[in-house]
Amino acid sequence: MAKTSVSTLLKMKQAKQKIVALTAYDASFAKLFHDAGVEIILVGDSLGMVLQGGDDTLAVTIADIAYHTRCVRAGSKELFVIADMPFMTYSNPAAACENAATLMRAGANMVKLEGGEWLYDSIRLLTQQGIPVCGHLGLTPQSVHVFGGFKIQGRDDAQAERMIADAKALEAAGAQLLVVECIPSSLAKRISEAVSIPVIGIGAGKETDGQILVMHDLVGISAGYIPKFSKNFLAETGNMPAAVKKYCDDVKSGAFPGPEHEFN
């Protein structure tokens, strides 16, 4: 598979070709995912839950993400690697630049920040300094205590309109990719149509430009429970390479996610 870039992803959106993404945290899985046809790897702060055993993502540090980014990059030179900016590592533009630089040096192609229009100045400065940015709207796990738990976002009209405005603001600031999480499928479709940058969904229905899952959910080994928006592809296929290939094929064809994985 050819090396993926920001330009590749933008062309895929324009051609209405679905983008496939997964989280990964080490070299072995990064290579497996690349060989199966995954375009984007997210080194997610989800590692705080699936690797470290935490109840949320808040304890993850920039050093944690940098370590796992180096591991993932060692597994594939061609994959497009996004590294999460952990909790309180981008509270102001200067901090955002310093911490993002650490992740880019570790091998990331892009960094991901959670939040809306308030990030405008940070994203603008990051992109001016040559650091590509992915935004993240909807259920943003670092704000779990503000939300009162892991709850669906954007169900009322005011919140939906705010999210669309935030998406436009993030693009205007220079963000080149956007993740939307746990929002109604109708809202995800509106956001995907409102911006020219690719929109990757998780628990956001099939009308986004691509899909991402936490790898542990994809194979049914997440501690606690498997989210409604996920699917155990390992149970269906019987081995890891086949499970990842099935996920890629189903995203590309539009078979996943199905109606049973959406929120209305």
Q: How far apart are CA 17 and CA 29, in angstroms?
A: 24
209 among the known binding-site residues? no
What pLDDT is stored for residue 143 in this prediction?
63
The domain limits of the chain are 6-261
Q: What value does the mean pLDDT take over residues 58-86?
A: 96
The Cα 170–Cα 67 span in angstroms is 27
Residue pair 81/109 in contact (Cβ under 8 Å)? The answer is yes
pTM of the entire predicted model: 0.94
- On whether the CB atoms of residues 203 and 194 are closer than 8 A, the answer is no
Is residue 249 annotated as involved in ligand binding? Answer: no
Tell me which of 181, 193, 236, 260 is the catalytic residue: 181
In the annotation, is 181 catalytic? yes
Work out the pLDDT band at 139, boundaries 50, 70, 90.
Answer: confident
117 is in an annotated binding site: no
Least Cα distance to 29 among 64, 66, 71 occurs for: 71
Cα–chain-centroid distance for residue 66?
Answer: 17
For residue 45, say whether it is annotated as part of any ligand binding site: yes
Neighbours of 264 (CB within 10 A): 9
Q: What is the pLDDT of residues 195-239, one digit of tens each?
A: 999 999 999 999 999 999 999 999 988 765 678 899 999 999 999
Contact 247, 20 (CB under 8 A): yes
CB atoms within 10 A of CB 254: 11
> In the structure encoding, which two tokens stand for residue 252, read together?
């590309």
Look at residue 264 in the predicted model and tell me its pLDDT.
80
DSSP structure class, residue 51: T
pLDDT of residue 1: 64
- pLDDT tens, residue by residue, 109-118: 999 999 999 9
Mean pLDDT over 20-45 rounds to: 97
CATH code assigned to 6-261: 3.20.20.60
Is residue 263 over pLDDT 90? no
CB atoms within 10 A of CB 43: 31
